[in-house]
Amino acid sequence: MSKDEAGLRALVACDEPVTARAIEQAFLDEGIEVLRVADGREALDAVRNTDVPQFAVLDSLLPRIDGPTLVERLRVDERCKSLFIVLLTQESDSNGWRRARKVGADDALGKPVVPDALSLRIGLWTRFQAMQRAASSGASHDQVTGLYSHGLILETAQHELDRAAREEMPLSILLTDVDHLRQINDAYGHQMGDKVLAEVARRLQIALRSYDLSGRYGGEEFLTVLPRCGRANAIEVGERVRRAVMAEPFEIDRLKMDVTVSLGVATTMGDEHVPARKMIRAADHALYKAKREGRNRVEIAVSLKTWAGRSI
């Protein structure tokens, strides 16, 4: 991807010259223009006084304005709502990721920065941006939830599975089902049910990484593609989604209701080519188990054998 083709810009805010240069080079290798600064105040001024970049890598320990504070200030700016922010941390992967998400960042990288890890983030993000543009131009979003349509999410799942097999990297599929939606429809009407689906979709997106891809798969089901995500991490993502949905009662048209979801997970390690429909059948089997075991839980498929589940 050339710079002219991409038209993308990145902000790198780091006061460690060696680290900053390595990050800058990773972007340049992808044809992405870089604006490099050495402290938080410079970074904030750069965003306010120029066109907002699409990507930002911010060191947590920046002078004048530290990284977490800078993230919070950027997120207040409406122009920065879609800015993809990676926070550099001194913590372990899981702790750093949680802290980054808490302040509004999309992802975290531990220091010292591993160039391949950053290149992975850049690659996933640029693919995500390309898919978003393609989806927008093709009007391929579900009108109720704003997520990808059934057809587009299936196409996306197969595309990412093919890539996972080529790169021999893990990928997981997450199938999310709204518990007892039929009862909500029967009691309050389908318009209320649609509003519940829209709120579930909103909470789902908050719980996911910015480059995870979700679509409305069926009436009350959502399909999510988790690139570069193994079994343990996929379960963690599923639990985040489950907790996000049930964290607060839904308040819709002066009604309060508790809503939960059940989730099924299927994972491939990228060591073979797997059709999307096979992955989804496996995730659907795990979802069926979650509902059979009482709902509001996450279950994972033990293998990718062809389940005798429904056709899709």
- The domain segmentation of the chain, as residue ranges, is 3-130, 139-300
- C-beta separation of 230 from 212 below 8 A: no
- C-beta separation of 269 from 161 below 8 A: no
- C-beta separation of 93 from 110 below 8 A: yes
- What pLDDT digit, counting tens, does each position of 177-205 carry? 999 999 999 999 999 999 999 999 999 99
Q: What is the pLDDT of residue 132?
A: 64
Compare 226 and 303 and report the one with higher pLDDT: 226
The superfamily in CATH containing domain 139-300 is Reverse transcriptase/Diguanylate cyclase domain (3.30.70.270)
136 pLDDT more than 70: no
Looking at the DSSP bridge assignments, the partners of residue 97 are none
User: Which of 195, 181, 179, 279 is closest to 229 using CA atoms?
Assistant: 279
- What pLDDT digit, counting tens, does each position of 79-112 carry? 887 788 999 988 655 577 777 888 888 888 888 8
Query: Counting Cβ atoms within 10 Å, is residue 249 exposed (0-12), middle (13-18) or buried (19+)?
Result: exposed
User: Which of 271, 283, 275, 164 is closest to 234 using CA atoms?
Assistant: 283
39 pLDDT more than 80: yes
Compare 95 and 234 and report the one with higher pLDDT: 234
305 pLDDT more than 60: no
Output 300-305 pairs: Cβ under 8 A, ≥24 positions apart. 300/231, 300/234, 300/235, 300/264, 300/265, 300/266, 300/267, 301/264, 301/265, 301/266, 301/267, 304/266, 304/268, 304/274, 304/278, 304/279
In what helix (H) or strand (E) does residue 216 lie, and over which residues does it extend?
strand 213-216
How far, in Å, CA of 312 to CA of 307, rounded?
Answer: 12
- C-beta separation of 249 from 256 below 8 A: yes
End-to-end CA distance of the chain: 35
Q: What is the pLDDT of residue 41?
A: 94
Compare 23 and 126 and report the one with higher pLDDT: 23
Model confidence at 1, pLDDT cuts 50, 70, 90, reads very low
How far, in Å, CA of 134 to CA of 140, rounded?
Answer: 9
- C-beta separation of 40 from 66 below 8 A: yes
Compare 2 and 126 and report the one with higher pLDDT: 126
Model confidence at 5, pLDDT cuts 50, 70, 90, reads very low
| Mean pLDDT, range 48-64, rounded to an integer | 89
Q: Is the pTM of this model over 0.75?
A: no
Q: What is the pLDDT of residue 122?
A: 84
User: Which of 88, 80, 35, 81 is closest to 58 using CA atoms?
Assistant: 88
3-state secondary structure 97-125: HHHHHHHCCCEEEECCCCHHHHHHHHHHH
Q: What is the pLDDT of residue 221?
A: 96
User: Which of 60, 53, 65, 298 is closest to 174 using CA atoms?
Assistant: 298
Task: Check if CATH label 3.40.50.720 holds for domain 3-130.
Answer: no
Q: Lowest-pLDDT range, 16-20, 124-128, 144-148?
A: 124-128
Known active-site residue 220: yes
Compare 50 and 217 and report the one with higher pLDDT: 217
Q: What angle (nearest 5°) sits at the alpha carbon of residue 232, between those of residues 228 and 234?
A: 55
Q: Which of 30, 42, 220, 221 is an active site residue? A: 220
How far, in Å, CA of 127 to CA of 122, rounded?
Answer: 9
pLDDT above 90: percentage of residues in the chain: 56
53 pLDDT more than 70: yes
C-alpha atoms less than 13 angstroms from C-alpha of 212 in its C-beta half-sphere: 25
Q: Lowest-pLDDT range, 35-39, 93-97, 204-208?
A: 93-97
| Mean pLDDT, range 137-156, rounded to an integer | 84
- What pLDDT digit, counting tens, does each position of 238-277 carry? 999 999 999 999 999 989 999 999 999 999 998 888 899 9
User: Which of 264, 178, 271 is closest to 220 using CA atoms?
Assistant: 178
Q: What is the pLDDT of residue 51?
A: 80
